[in-house]
Amino acid sequence: QVQLQESGPGLVKPSETLSLTCTVSGYAISSGYYWGWIRQPPGKGLEWIGSIYHSGSTYYKPSLKSRVTISVDTSKNQFSLRLTSVTAADTAVYYCARQSCSGDFCYSSAAFDIWGQGTMVTVSS
């Protein structure tokens, strides 16, 4: 079955860059779908950060766009998140997820159907 697993540092200093990787097993990223990053600050709701289409097209939350980069490495079947200039407000559980839908560029109907277990990232000096 399809599984996603986040990995990366659990502690990042303020003003530095947060980098996380999502390793996908059971499905080739290059075959299709969108692949997204979502975060959840402690005690708060879900916030979509950004997504990448299997072809490489990227989509970012407007308020985070200047700090976010999502990339894909099909040879490793991984996609990654970089968030620059982090502050305490970026402290959260970060999830990666598959967004499945039918047809090409089906973004309007894409739902987050498979999620990773999440990884806690704390921004602190």
| 111 binds other proteins, rule: CB under 8 A | yes
Rounded distance between C-alpha atoms, residue 46 and residue 95, angstroms = 10
* φ and ψ of 43, to 5 deg: 75, 5
**Options 45, 75, 89, 103; binder of other proteins; rule CB under 8 A:** 45
Beta carbons of 26 and 1 less than 8 angstroms apart: yes
Range in contact with other proteins (rule: CB under 8 A) among 16-24, 71-79, 81-89, 116-124: 116-124
The stretch near other proteins (CB under 8 A) out of 13-21, 23-31, 59-67, 75-83 is: 59-67
- Residues in contact with 3: Cβ distance below 8 Å, sequence separation at least 6, in sequence order: 24, 25, 26, 114, 116
Q: Which stretches of the chain bind other proteins, using CB under 8 A? A: 36, 38, 45-48, 51, 59-63, 95, 99, 107-113, 115-118
